[in-house]
Amino acid sequence: QDDNDIKLSALPYYSYGKGLGITSPDSIFKLNIRFRMQNRFTSLYNEDEEDGYEAMIRRLRLRFDGYVGDPSIIYVIQLSFSPNDVGAIEDGDNLNIIRDAIVFYRPDEHWNIGFGQTKLPGNRQRINSSGALQLTDRSINNARFNIDRDFGLQVYYLNELQDKLSYNLKTAISTGEGRNWTKEPDNGLAFTGRLELFPFGAFKSNGMLFEGDIKREETPKLMLSGVYHYNNNARRTRGTIGDELFAQRDIQSLFLDAIVKYNGWAFQTAYMQRTADDPITFNPDDALDSQYVFTGSGFDTQLSYIFANNYEVIGRYSYQEPHKDIEALTPQTNQYSLGVTKYIWEHALKLQAELTNTELNYLDSSSTSNWYLRFQVEIGI
Amino acid sequence: QDDNDIKLSALPYYSYGKGLGITSPDSIFKLNIRFRMQNRFTSLYNEDEEDGYEAMIRRLRLRFDGYVGDPSIIYVIQLSFSPNDVGAIEDGDNLNIIRDAIVFYRPDEHWNIGFGQTKLPGNRQRINSSGALQLTDRSINNARFNIDRDFGLQVYYLNELQDKLSYNLKTAISTGEGRNWTKEPDNGLAFTGRLELFPFGAFKSNGMLFEGDIKREETPKLMLSGVYHYNNNARRTRGTIGDELFAQRDIQSLFLDAIVKYNGWAFQTAYMQRTADDPITFNPDDALDSQYVFTGSGFDTQLSYIFANNYEVIGRYSYQEPHKDIEALTPQTNQYSLGVTKYIWEHALKLQAELTNTELNYLDSSSTSNWYLRFQVEIGI
Amino acid sequence: QDDNDIKLSALPYYSYGKGLGITSPDSIFKLNIRFRMQNRFTSLYNEDEEDGYEAMIRRLRLRFDGYVGDPSIIYVIQLSFSPNDVGAIEDGDNLNIIRDAIVFYRPDEHWNIGFGQTKLPGNRQRINSSGALQLTDRSINNARFNIDRDFGLQVYYLNELQDKLSYNLKTAISTGEGRNWTKEPDNGLAFTGRLELFPFGAFKSNGMLFEGDIKREETPKLMLSGVYHYNNNARRTRGTIGDELFAQRDIQSLFLDAIVKYNGWAFQTAYMQRTADDPITFNPDDALDSQYVFTGSGFDTQLSYIFANNYEVIGRYSYQEPHKDIEALTPQTNQYSLGVTKYIWEHALKLQAELTNTELNYLDSSSTSNWYLRFQVEIGI
């Protein structure tokens, strides 16, 4: 691993193995090719529906990264092709294949300036690659509240130190409309700031960017992080993602996260919140047709232990509460998951099984309990 | 060609040349990149239409394969980009770029266990790569009756031996809805079994997976194969492909195939059949709107000889008969093709010319005779 | 750079650096992988609208090229993924990811025969890669009048000589319907001829295919070129591009171009014209609904100087006049641009800033003046 790989590894991408990479003899460029694929089979036992199954390529990604001209000028391109990566085709929308397309300038080990499209410095689990999760997917709160990817300028000041208190500060100014948006000129930007504190120093191998203590930290490591995000004149139900609202809204998001790893144990917890005034917007041509900002809050907690044979057992509990402005429109939700993961080649090749129960509690006091059992294979380089 | 290439070559992919492949020095992974492109020009002389031409990139594919962590764990990803590969865009459908995305576990030379999306072990010509055909495309019966690709579990027991009777057994349990389907939870799986018999031993270089005796077998080689496929609660007119039916149907398919090669001669024949009870389904909101399972049967026969200068002459006759349940809706069809192919670098670089006549015989005794003349270039690695 | 790279460089592709390329030890194939990405931020100050901004991945391309079997048989595949490359999704249209997919046969240094899809030999600025422009994009006249890409047969006779009068002749017969068209059989082809004259011999490094005198020609170099294009039975408003007309039209295009480079200075000028009889077509079901061939003409002139520190200053003026048949439907337009470009690694890594004023003059004598200020990063290999 050369110096550039080290620089890249400070970006929020999980990398194991070396990809198919070539550095030119005169070191004028580097192009590295990577892929990953996630195949899954799920048995569904939903209370009010016939039992069924889903079987799909959940994620399929190609990644190209490297540098051009000078090792301090780094590019990352990531393309996604699976149906759930891209979403169903909608007339008038843009093709949604590009996930990341960004240039970074890294003049030294501290500063990292990016221009293009990639993940915003949001909640920890969202920054964590979906290829480096313990369970088969992220939490229900991440799904509702995360701030996803966006196009803009990102400036990071990185100051992670070995074995002592240190921190990273990550900021972004972006369009606020989300990835591959070109519909109309924008009239309100989004501003994001994230602070990461490492009271006991940095994790092994950027361990805050993958779940599970697969590196078996010898001393406890902790990252505490907080994010504030303000999306001015947002157009979509979840800010940078979701259906289009009938009127623009200003949206604020708050994320608080902790991750601890020690001796095979890993513990993560997160609080997420989205607020907006007057979150329900109505179709001016049809007052019965509405779209609302998903306001509310949620809480996740997740614990795991990895055995010497690289089998890991994971439990997660999530609680999600819609804001009272929209509580008639969407249920309060609890989710309980139990998972077993076998790491064959760290997160790059693993087998995962997961049993999950989701309870949906409606305002009229009715409730629904759904279950699924899932098997998943993750493979990539 | 290392051992892994040999393992890969037992999968239904045509490979010539080596691709752009890299094995890591410690042999922990291999990534191989391949592409192929098929450009064609066709002059159309249809009886009831103005003469015209079609000119297009018929197929354009990128393929990534190799292993990760352990040479017994093989992945194959194939992406397709041409309009006819992907189909016209339809609102609400999924992007159809992914053809193959599957992980294989090959613990030894006999067992091959795959999980993901790829071709089902169906009729021989469908398993044969479209880049390794003699004529410019597969037969009209393949187009109507093949069972295409699907997502699921495939288990093969391979037992091909040199110069003596041997066999392969290939089975699959899959969703039955076809590639990149995520619309609704599935409530009926598909089951496929294929038996391949080699009475005189294996072909040179997996010769049952490409057409034409370009390897010039010194002794006659024969493969006989039979396939049974049961698709429970199928949703589409041709099972795993086609438009959506208005009601689900159970579909059965039967395929019988033979391929012989000897001394520059190649002969192939195939019988295909699809059956379903009550194949016509009606739109519950409009009784004049219907979709039907394409039931019926067909028969192909194809003969070729390759000269020492690598020019090959090919003839094919196809007969297709719809089941009487749907004979008012679709004609009985005969097709006659004559082709000349010049192999420059085996199937990886070839020039093809084809003259084809199609006779459509309708229930009211009217008939139509259409002709086309086509020129095609295939190139790839 | 081997002989094949030299051959490739005669094609209209800008290449700097070597890509990720591999030649097999026995020289039987070569596969080269390249990418480029163009990220931009634009502030819009339009007279009749609220100020706003656009921020996007304007272009994202992957390119695969090389040879198969024999170095005289060259392939080029280029895929595009950004929203503006591909266009918004339209129900019933084809996926528009493929830009180039063509095979070239180059028996000697003079003849170059291509079959497939790529740029037609049209106006100079269109043949110039969008990755090798001085300003952030091509002119308004190029946008309206260029003949883009098409599928067909291209035959070039190349005869560029060092330091003396020489010429290239480039011809094409193509479908006339543009890239990735498969909707209906075609009943009218397009014919294109382009003559390039080099009175003082060839430019350094194919300098007529990139803008700006970044190679600092020591003696003046000039290319004069003329193109005639006839598109029989065209179906779209700009021939090979644009919305579908309600009736087919025969379209003629004429392009005259000059480019001069000397000692850091570069000057380009172009005249473009499109003509068609009866250019307005009406919807047979609704006489208020029409689509028209964009007939008219335009004139561009562009001047630049590059300083020793690789900063370049660029000015451009464009004048566009619709034909009188359609002057009630579209304004006369003038555009003035001033740009500064910093070349870090030639066109492969550069920073661009541009200020542009567009004046739209309507038939009723009203007019609108719009401004934009843009920052753009181009990176690729």
DSSP letter string, C348-371: TEEEEEEEEEEEEE-TTS-EEEEE
Per residue in A134-188, pLDDT tens? 999 999 999 999 999 999 999 999 999 988 999 999 999 999 999 999 888 888 9
CB contact under 8 A, B73 and A35: no
The CB-side HSE value for C104 (13 A sphere, CA atoms) comes to 29
Question: CA triplet C165, C166, C168: central angle to 5 degrees?
Answer: 155
Question: How far apart (Å, rounded) are the C-alpha atoms in residues B255 and B147?
Answer: 10
For residue range A301-319, what is the model confidence (pLDDT) as tens digits?
999 999 999 999 999 999 9
List pLDDT tens digits, range B214-238: 999 999 999 999 999 999 999 999 9
Higher-confidence residue of C7 and B288: namely: B288
Q: Which two tokens stand for residue B359?
A: 């006779």
Amino acid C4: pLDDT: 44
**Is there a contact between A39 and B174 if contact means CB atoms under 8 Å apart?**
no
Q: What is the C-alpha to C-alpha distance for residues A380 and A361, in angstroms, rounded to an integer? A: 39
Percent of chain A clearing pLDDT 70 (strictly above): 93
pLDDT band at A14 (very low <50, low <70, confident <90, very high): low
Q: How many pairs of residues across A and C have Cβ atoms under 8 Å apart?
A: 115
Closest CA to B358 of B139, B154, B126, B168: B139
Q: How remote is the C-alpha of B166 from its chain's centroid?
A: 23
β A311-322/A221-236 pair status = unpaired
At A71 the pLDDT is 86
- Pairing of the two strands A367-380 and A29-45: antiparallel
Report, as an integer, the average pLDDT of C250-255: 98
Residue range A76-102: mean pLDDT, rounded? 91
Segment A328-352 shows an average pLDDT of 96
Mean pLDDT of B289-296: 97
Identify the pLDDT of residue B225: 97
How many other C-beta atoms lie within 10 A of the C-beta of residue C365? Answer: 6
Mean pLDDT estimate for chain B? 92
Amino acid letter for position C203: F
Residue A379 or C29, more confident: A379
The β-bridge partners of A277 are none
Distance CA A294, CA A275 (A): 8
d(Cα A376, Cα A280) in Å, to the nearest integer?
Answer: 37
Best mutation target, C15, C22, C35, C378, to test chain A (most A CBs within 10 A): C35
Mutate to test the interface with B, among A349, A370, A375 (most CBs of B within 10 A): A349
Which segments of chain B are extended strands (E)?
Answer: 20-23, 29-45, 52-68, 70-80, 98-105, 111-119, 149-159, 166-174, 190-198, 221-236, 244-262, 265-275, 280-283, 286-292, 296-306, 311-322, 332-343, 349-361, 367-380
CA A322 to chain centre: 21
Of B24, B101, B185, the CB nearest to A37: B101
Segment C7-23 mean pLDDT:
58
Residue given tokens 């700031």 in the structure block = A193
d(Cα A20, Cα A27) in Å, to the nearest integer? 16
Per-residue model confidence as pLDDT tens digits over C24-68 = 666 678 888 889 999 999 999 999 889 999 999 999 999 998 888
What average pLDDT does this structure show over B72-90?
A: 91
C224 vs B183, which has greater pLDDT?
A: C224
For the cut 50, the answer to whether the pLDDT of residue C315 exceeds it is: yes
pLDDT in tens, C125-142: 999 999 999 999 999 999
Tens digit of each residue's pLDDT (9 = 90 or more) over C140-170: 999 999 999 999 999 999 999 988 999 999 9
Q: Are C222 and C166 in contact (CB under 8 A)?
A: no
- pLDDT value of position A5: 47
Among A210, A57, A74, CA closest to A130 = A210
Percent of chain B with pLDDT over 70: 93
What is the interface pTM, i.e. ipTM, of the complex? 0.94
Using the beta-carbon criterion (under 8 Å), do B39 and C117 form an inter-chain contact? yes
pLDDT at B178: 95
A313-A317-A322 Cα angle (round to 5): 155
- pLDDT beyond 90 at B1: no
Among A42-56, C136-150, C260-274, the least confident range: A42-56
Residues of chain C above pLDDT 90, percent: 80
Distance of CA B196 to the CA centre of its chain: 16
Nearest chain C residue to A23, by CA:
C20
Do the chains contact at A69 and C345, CB–CB below 8 Å?
A: yes
Tell me how far apart the alpha carbons of residues A73 and B275 are, in angstroms, rounded to a whole number.
Answer: 61
Question: Is the distance from CB of C130 to CB of C119 less than 8 angstroms?
Answer: no
The answer to whether the Cβ–Cβ distance between C180 and B83 falls below 8 Å is yes
Between chain B and chain C, the number of residue pairs with CB atoms below 8 A apart is: 115
- Which pLDDT score is estimated for B4? 44
Q: What is the pLDDT of residue B350?
A: 96
- Residue A284, pLDDT score: 94
Closest Cβ opposite residue B77 in set A50, A60, A86: A60
**Quick one: closest CA in B to A45, which residue?**
B185
User: Which region holds residue C41: left if phi is over 0, alpha if psi is between -120 and 50, else beta?
Assistant: beta
Q: Which residue has the higher pLDDT, A264 or A67?
A: A264
CA distance C154 to C193: 10
* Residue B258 Cα, gap to closest chain C Cα (Å): 31
The residues on C that touch B, with CB distances below 8 Å, are: 22, 24, 28-29, 31, 33, 64, 68-70, 73, 75, 77, 79, 89-95, 97-98, 101-103, 115-117, 151-152, 174-175, 180-182, 184-187, 189
Q: What is the pLDDT of residue C15?
A: 58
Mean pLDDT along residues A129-138 = 95
Res. B8: pLDDT tops 70: no
For residue A377, is pLDDT > 60? Answer: yes
How high is the pLDDT of residue B283? Answer: 96
Nearest chain C CA: its distance from A48 CA (Å): 34
Instruction: Evaluate whether B266 touches B304 at the Cβ level (below 8 Å).
Output: yes
Residue in C97, C101, C184 closest to B37 by CB? C101
- Which tops the pLDDT comparison, B34 or C290? C290
| pLDDT of amino acid A24 | 67
**pLDDT band at B19; cut points 50, 70, 90:** low
| Residue-level pLDDT at C2 | 43
Pairing of strands C349-361, C98-105: unpaired
- Closest Cα in chain C, distance from residue A221 (Å): 38
Handedness of CA A130, A131, A132, A136 (dihedral sign): positive
Predicted pLDDT of residue C20? 62
Average pLDDT over chain A, rounded to an integer:
92
> Chain A: nearest CA to C197, how far in angstroms?
34
CA-nearest residue of chain A to C380? A68
Q: Check whether C76 has a pLDDT greater than 80.
A: yes
Question: Tell me: the pLDDT tens digits for B131-176?
Answer: 999 999 999 999 999 999 999 999 999 999 988 999 999 999 999 9
Give all domains of chain B, ordered by start, each with its CATH number: 95-380 (2.40.160.10)
pLDDT of residue B148: 96
Given this model, what pLDDT does residue A295 score?
98
Please give the single-letter amino acid code of residue C129.
Answer: S
- Residue B203 to residue B199: CA distance in whole angstroms: 11
- At CB < 8 Å, which residues of chain B contact A? 22, 24, 28-29, 31, 33, 64, 68-70, 73, 75, 77, 79, 89-95, 97-98, 101-103, 115-117, 151-153, 174-175, 180-182, 184-187, 189
What is the overall mean pLDDT for chain C? 92
Smallest CA-to-CA distance from A52 within B361, C1, B184 is with B184
pLDDT average, residue stretch B293-307: 98
**Residue B20 CB partners (closer than 8 Å, separation 6+):** B32, B33, B34, B381, C22, C31, C33
pLDDT for the residue A297: 98
Is 70 exceeded by the pLDDT of residue A327?
Answer: yes
- Three-state SS letters, B150-175: EEEEEEEEEECCCCCCEEEEEEEEEC
- The whole-number average pLDDT for the span C227-247 is 96
Whether the CB-CB separation of A299 and A327 falls below 8 Å is answered with no
Alpha-carbon gap: A54 to the closest alpha carbon of chain B (Å): 5
Going by pLDDT thresholds of 50, 70 and 90, the confidence category of residue B264 is very high
Look at residue B3 and tell me whether its pLDDT is greater than 50. no
